[in-house]
């Protein structure tokens, strides 16, 4: 049985593969390649989409790193797909219907636009919300806490 890595290496020699600390293999692709990569993974036996999230680093140009998590029931293993983008990425809802909510969540909280998503609207925040709160340069919000002891000590 060919492993996922062999499938990927056969189609994309020199593919950027690595491992996270928990031992999950990841494949880093360019944002434009996400759709092809997912199709390849599907052909190689990946049958479940589990998770999608983004990690923001505003110091980079392509600041959002999308992290897809897949699972293959036959190989009994997780697999990660990573892609960096500065705001646009292809949607994978055609391949995995379960990505619908996840892409909307990333759009809502990070502002990454998934091209080809059937209904890319805000998911968690109100529709009229301004900004994307999970970006690193967005403030936490909330209000300053005025403890009684602060008033007593500083007389404010």
Partner 1 sequence: MTTLDAKVPDAAPRQTLRINMGPQHPSTHGVLRLELELDGETVVECRPVIGYLHTGIEKSMESRNYMHAVAMTDRMDYLNPLGNNLAYALALEKLFGCPIPERATVGRVLLAELTRINSHLVWLGTAALDLGAMSTFLYAFREREELLDLFEELTGQRMMTSFIRPGGLADDMPEEWLQKTRKFNDALPRRIDEYEDLLTHNSIFKERTQGVGKLAVADAYALGVTGPLLRASGIAHDLRRAHPYCGYETYEFAVPTRTEGDCYARYLVRLLEMRESIKIVRQALDRMPGGEVRTSDRKVMPPPRRELQHSMEALIHHFKLYTEGLRPPPGEAYVGVESPRGELGFFVVSDGSGRPVRIHERAPSFANLQAIPVMAKGGLIADLVAVIASVDPIMGEVDR
Partner 2 sequence: MPAEAMSAPSDLPPIVRDGERDTKDGAAAWALSRLQDWSREKSLWPATFGLACCAIEMMASAASKYDLARFGMELYRASPRQADLLIVSGRVAQKMAPVLREIYDQMPSPKWVIAMGDCAACGGVFNNYAIIQGVDKIVPVDVYVPGCPPRPEALIDGIIKLQQRIGMGHRRS
Binding site for partner 1 (CB under 8 A): 20-22, 24, 47-51, 53, 55-56, 67, 69, 73, 76, 78, 96-98, 100-102, 109, 122-126, 133-134, 136, 140-141
User: DSSP secondary structure string, 31-89?
Assistant: GGGHHHHHHHHHHTT--EEEEEEEEE-TTSSS-EEEEEEEEETTTTEEEEEEEEESSEE
Dist CA 7 CA 140 (whole Å): 43
User: Which partner from the list partner 1, partner 2, none does 145 bind, CB cut-off 5 to 8 Å by kind?
Assistant: partner 2
From the CB of 111, what's the least distance to partner 2, in Å? 15
Residue matched to tokens 């080809």: 116
> Is 129 among the residues that bind partner 2 (CB under 8 A)?
yes
> Is 126 among the residues that bind partner 2 (CB under 8 A)?
yes
Residue from 13, 23, 139, 155 in contact with partner 2 (CB under 8 A): 139
User: Which partner from the list partner 2, partner 1, none does 22 bind, CB cut-off 5 to 8 Å by kind?
Assistant: partner 1
* Token pair of 75 as six digits: 């190989």
From the CB of 43, what's the least distance to partner 1, in Å? 15
Which lies closer to partner 2 via its Cβ, residue 142 or residue 155? 142
CA 121 to each of CA 34, 42, 62, 84, 105: distance values in angstroms, whole numbers, following the listed order: 21, 27, 22, 22, 9
Closest CA to 33 of 71, 89, 105, 75: 89
Give contact residues for partner 2 (rule: CB under 8 A). 124-126, 129, 133, 138-143, 145
């Amino acid at each position: 049985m060919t492993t996922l890595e062999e499938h990927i290496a056969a189609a994309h020699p020199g593919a950027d593969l690595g491992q996270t600390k928990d031992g999950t293999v990841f494949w880093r692709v360019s944002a434009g390649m996400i759709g092809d990569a997912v199709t390849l993974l599907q052909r190689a036996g990946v049958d479940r989409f589990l998770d999608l999230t983004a990690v923001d680093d505003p110091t980079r140009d392509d600041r959002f790193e999308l992290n897809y998590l897949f699972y293959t029931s036959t190989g009994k293993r997780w697999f990660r797909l990573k892609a960096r983008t500065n705001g646009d990425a292809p949607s994978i809802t055609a391949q995995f219907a379960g990505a619908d909510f996840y892409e909307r969540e990333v759009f809502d909280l990070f502002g990454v636009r998934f091209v080809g998503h059937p209904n890319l609207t805000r998911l968690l925040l109100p529709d009229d919300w301004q900004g994307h709160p999970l970006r690193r340069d967005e403030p936490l919000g909330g209000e300053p806490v005025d403890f009684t002891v602060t008033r007593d000590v500083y007389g404010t």
